[in-house]
Amino acid sequence: MFNQVFIQGLIASAFAGLVTGLGGFMIFLKRRYSQKDIDFMLNLAAGVMLSASFFSLLVPAMGKILTFDPDVHVAGFWYALAVFTGVALVWILNAILPHEHNNMGHHGPHFSLRAAWLFIIAITLHKLPEGLAVGVAFSAEDFMNPDSLVIGIALHNIPEGLTIAISLVAANCSKLKAATTALLIGLVQPLGAIIGLLTMGFSDKIVPLGMAMAGGTLLFVVINEILPETYGTKQTERSAFAVFVGFIFMTYLKIVLD
Ligand SMILES: [Zn+2]
């Protein structure tokens, strides 16, 4: 159980998760971050995550699942079902647990502690499937390289950590407490990775299905949690630019690392 893959996956996800703390401590770098700064960074992160979910999870999973059955309709059905299951899982999780989207930009720095925490719960929740994706990717090491996914998730944790810290400071927390909270929330990712690593060990077929599922959850997170935070503020051209920079950068990284 606690073999080399498990240890590597755990270390990699812990590293990626701790980068959230790095983002959190960036709150000390600038006296005040504008909504534009935050949107730009979150959009970069969204582009990185889009590329990572396609090229590190959905595409390699498709190649593998298509070898399951000579009938493409059967194989295609399993693939679609796995992606849908991933989307549905986060959807259900979101429906059960209370959370709120961040709207601090429109109302200045007044942000109730309750609203800040509901927003942070949303971020914390989605870190679980992100960690899961890392765990699954490490279980698939024999047919893909998980490094680019880990780097992608680590990179996108920087603006997320900063957003957590900014929300808490806007709700009158001290900067140190806000940054430390971001660091702790980052540790949810290795927790998700452990679940991924433990459940993928059962059969070879589970791994590509798990990857397709994880790809679905990451896409859902980008589409439902990250992009809506930034697209409401009428900077669509700037936002789109940042998304594409993130996407192309991550795709380049994937090519180079593989
Ligand atoms: Zn995230």
Kindly report, residue by residue over 86-126, the tens digit of the pLDDT: 999 888 877 877 666 655 444 344 457 777 777 788 778 78
The most confident of 105-109, 213-217, 236-240, by mean pLDDT: 213-217
Residues with Cβ within 8 Å of 238's Cβ and at least 6 positions away in sequence, in order, are 36, 39, 40, 43
Kindly give the distance from the C-alpha atom of residue 7 to the centroid of ligand 1, in angstroms, as a whole number: 23
Kindly give the distance from the C-alpha atom of residue 157 to the centroid of ligand 1, in angstroms, as a whole number: 6
Kindly give the distance from the C-alpha atom of residue 8 to the centroid of ligand 1, in angstroms, as a whole number: 21
Kindly give the distance from the C-alpha atom of residue 101 to the centroid of ligand 1, in angstroms, as a whole number: 14
Q: Residue 153 and residue 179: Cα distance in Å, rounded?
A: 19
Kindly give the distance from the C-alpha atom of residue 257 to the centroid of ligand 1, in angstroms, as a whole number: 22
Q: What pTM does this model have?
A: 0.82
Burial 174-184 (b: 16+ CB within 10 A, else e): eeeebbbbbbe
Q: How many CB atoms lie within 10 A of CB 71?
A: 9
Q: 149-152: long-range contacts (C-beta < 8 A, 24 or more apart)?
A: 149/52, 149/56, 149/57, 150/12, 150/13, 150/15, 150/16, 151/253, 151/257, 152/48, 152/49, 152/51, 152/52, 152/56, 152/250, 152/253
Kindly give the distance from the C-alpha atom of residue 154 to the centroid of ligand 1, in angstroms, as a whole number: 9
Kindly give the distance from the C-alpha atom of residue 67 to the centroid of ligand 1, in angstroms, as a whole number: 31
Kindly give the distance from the C-alpha atom of residue 17 to the centroid of ligand 1, in angstroms, as a whole number: 10
